[in-house]
Amino acid sequence: MYTFSSKLKTFSLILMVIGAIGIGVGFWSAPKTVEEVETILLEESHGHHDQVASHDAHAAHDAHADAAHQEHVNHVFHQLQNKPWAAFYVACIFFMLLSVGVLAFYAIQQVALAGWSPILFRVMEGITAYLLPGSVIFLLVLVLSGVHMNHLFTWMDPEVVANDHLIQGKSGYLNVAFFLIRAVLFLGVWNLYRFFSRKNSIAQDNADGVTFYKKNFKMAASFLVFFIVSESLMSWDWIMSLDPHWYSTLFAWYVFASFFVSGITAIAMVTIYLKSKGYLEQVNTSHIHDLAKFMFGISIFWTYLWFSQFMLIWYSDIPEEVTYFVTRIEHYKLPFFGMLVMNFVFPLLILVNTDFKRLSWIVVMAGIVILAGHYVDFYNMVMPATVGDQWFIGLPEISAILFFLGLFIFVVFTALTKAPLVAKGNPLMEESKHFHY
């Protein structure tokens, strides 16, 4: 049985406390009034702004200019108020979907009757334990958005919808009630599959036959069918609808590739950590090699989807489509192109070598870059639609990462203490223990 070390537990709690304090400061420091935003804009422009003319001949022009200026100030006000919410949202959805990626990988291994991976099943089950608390927090954010506690989803604002024919045309799908029903359905089914598959896995340890193993096989097959559909709708709902004027038919696959490779990377890093502490003795370099192969392969797959989406939209040059990338290239140049280096160039150069895939320290180094890169990927997907050009990776962003990282470590490693690290009842376990590539 695994024992959660006091040092790691304390470390996770410290991360959560520091993160929570930083998140609170981020919300507290956000502008409370339009006047505060006026002051901020004046300071940014060094105090230079257009003065209102006093001549009657320019009265109409001045009124128009004032109205445009006030509209701009209100827009920036909403963006700056969104900033701590958006920072929290990015970290929240990233860690939650990371656990969903592990759950999908776990189900795929079950359905494929994979012989190499059962030795890692308890690691996967431990990571997916984060799905429940992650889902609860995420659903709470969606509910708060639905009751207008923030402006993350513009289509939830009745005033915006009243003046936007495109959003009105999507109101049959994009409405708060249906949106929240879908969220509860997706999160509920994912969590139920995780609960029962984990329950059957532990029951199989002391079972005489393979009844529970067969149940998990059938459940995994059913779950993957539901997952394929729900993942697509989820990506449209929770990310693409942040910018309801834009859509891409590749987007669901793109989002999946991002959190799928993040989940596999988390499996590799937790496994390597446990081995360094003397656990999982039967895990050998071939298991690490296979995990690294998936990290490399899905990174290339993600890049293929990124390029396909970007190239087709750039080549067609349709205004309502290309604006998505124009915004990011103009205002998010560093994170937009930086993630390409982190998610494609770095894994390509490091993990293409077979020998490197067997070296734990190289896999960990590559894993840290991949996880950071895909956090930036989610940052690029969320921030431009919610805060526009008012972005900066500062206290709210860093604090949110620390909080959810601390919560992730605490939940995952607590779950690992609840059952033996080796699913001894799995009929393919002996094959997994003696796996060599």
The tens digit of pLDDT for each residue in 302-354 reads 999 999 999 999 888 888 889 999 999 999 999 999 999 999 999 999 999 99
Residue 47 falls in which region: left (phi positive, over 0), alpha (psi -120 to 50) or beta: left
Task: Evaluate the CA torsion angle 234, 236, 240, 243 in order and state its sign.
Answer: negative
Q: Which residue has the tokens 């396909």?
A: 308
pLDDT band at 52 (very low <50, low <70, confident <90, very high): very low
Q: Is residue 166's pLDDT more than 80?
A: yes
User: What is the pLDDT of the chain when averaged over all its residues?
Assistant: 90
pLDDT at position 300 is 96
CB-neighbour burial class of residue 197 (10 A; exposed 0-12, middle 13-18, buried 19+): buried
- Where along the chain do its domains lie? 6-433
Task: Indicate the pLDDT class of residue 63, thresholds 50, 70 and 90.
Answer: low
The pLDDT of residue 372 is above 60 = yes
Q: Going by C-beta distance under 8 Å and a sequence separation of 6 or more, which residues neighbour residue 90?
A: 375, 378, 379, 382, 383, 397, 400
61-100: b (≥16 Cβ within 10 Å) or e: ebeeeeeeeeeeeeebbbbbbbbbbbbbbbbbbbbbbbbb
* Nearest-5° Cα angle at 127, 121 to 133: 140
Q: What pLDDT, in 10s, does the model give residues 377-420? A: 999 999 999 988 878 888 999 999 999 999 999 999 999 999 99
Contact status, residue 84 vs residue 26, Cβ threshold 8 Å:
yes
The whole-model pTM stands at: 0.91
Residues 34-45: tens digit of each pLDDT = 676 667 667 666
User: What pLDDT shows up at residue 72?
Assistant: 63
Exposed / middle / buried, residue 112 (Cβ in 10 Å: 0-12, 13-18, 19+): exposed
Q: At what angle do helices 395-416 and 59-111 cross, to 10 degrees?
A: 20
- Tell the residue number behind the tokens 């470590």, with chain if given: 409
Helix (H, G, I), strand (E, B) or coil at 374: helix
Per-residue pLDDT, 320: 81
Mean pLDDT in residue range 250-277: 96
- Residue 160: pLDDT band (50, 70, 90) is confident
pLDDT at position 67 is 65
DSSP character string of 410-426: HHHHHHHTTS-SS-TT-
Which of the given ranges, 19-33, 189-203, 240-254, 378-392, has the highest pLDDT on average? 189-203
Question: Residue 49: which pLDDT band, with cuts at 50, 70 and 90?
Answer: very low
